[in-house]
Copies of this chain bind each other. A is one copy, B any other.
Amino acid sequence: MNEFELIARYFGSSHHGADVLLGVGDDAAVLDVPAGYKLVAAVDTIVEGIHFPLNSNAGDIAWRALAVNLSDIAAMGAIPKWFTLSLCIPQVDESWLKEFAESLNHLAAQFNVQLVGGDTVKGPLNISVQIMGLVEQDQWLTRSGAKAGDLVYVSGAPGEAAGGLQLLLHPELQISQGEQVHSSYLINRFLKPQPRVELGRLLRPFANACMDVSDGLLGDLRKLCAASECGAMLRLEQLPRSASLAAIFDEDRSEQLMLCGGDDYELLFTVAPSNISQVTQAASSCAVPCTCIGMINQSNELRDVKCFRNNHEVHVSVNGFDHFA
A45 to B120 Cα, complex, angstroms: 8
Q: Is A190 an interface residue (CB 8 A)?
A: no
A41 touches B29 (CB 8 A): yes
Assess A130 versus B84: contact at CB under 8 Å? Given A31-B38, A43-B117. Answer: yes
A92 to B323 Cα, complex, angstroms: 10
Q: Is A126 an interface residue (CB 8 A)?
A: yes
B43 touches A118 (CB 8 A): yes
Q: Is A18 an interface residue (CB 8 A)?
A: no
Assess A4 versus B84: contact at CB under 8 Å? Given A27-B72, A28-B73, A47-B122. Answer: no
Assess A39 versus B33: contact at CB under 8 Å? Given A88-B126, A140-B22, A323-B120. Answer: yes
Assess A26 versus B82: contact at CB under 8 Å? Given A322-B3, A323-B3. Answer: no
A35 nearest CB neighbor, chain B only = B35
By a CB distance below 8 angstroms, the chain B residues around A27 are 42, 72, 75-76, 143, 211-212
Q: Is A109 an interface residue (CB 8 A)?
A: no
A86 touches B45 (CB 8 A): yes
B29 touches A42 (CB 8 A): yes
Which residues of chain A from 293 to 313 have a CB within 8 Å of any chain B CB? none
Copies held by the complex: 2
Q: Is A181 an interface residue (CB 8 A)?
A: no
B45 touches A76 (CB 8 A): no
A121 touches B47 (CB 8 A): yes
Q: Is A155 an interface residue (CB 8 A)?
A: no
B324 touches A43 (CB 8 A): no
A6 nearest CB neighbor, chain B only = B324
Which residues of chain A from 80 to 139 have a CB within 8 Å of any chain B CB? 82, 84-86, 88, 91-92, 116-124, 126, 128, 130-133, 135
By a CB distance below 8 angstroms, the chain B residues around A38 are 21, 30-33
By a CB distance below 8 angstroms, the chain B residues around A32 are 38-39
Chain B: minimal CB distance from A112 (Å): 17
What 4 A-B pairs have minimum CB-CB distances, sorted nearest first? Answer: A28-B42, A47-B123, A130-B130, A27-B75
Q: Is A51 an interface residue (CB 8 A)?
A: yes
- Pick the contact of A128 from B33, B39, B45, B212 — CB < 8 Å? B45
A135 to B29 Cα, complex, angstroms: 11
- Other than the given A28-B42, A42-B84, 19 more pairs (CB < 8 A) read A2-B324, A28-B72, A28-B73, A28-B78, A29-B42, A30-B38, A30-B40, A33-B38, A42-B117, A47-B88, A47-B123, A47-B124, A50-B123, A86-B130, A120-B324, A122-B323, A123-B124, A124-B124, A124-B126
Q: Is A198 an interface residue (CB 8 A)?
A: no
Assess A143 versus B26: contact at CB under 8 Å? Given A38-B32, A325-B2. Answer: yes
Q: Is A144 an interface residue (CB 8 A)?
A: yes
A132 to B46 Cα, complex, angstroms: 21
By a CB distance below 8 angstroms, the chain B residues around A135 are 30
A28 touches B4 (CB 8 A): no
Chain B: minimal CB distance from A322 (Å): 5
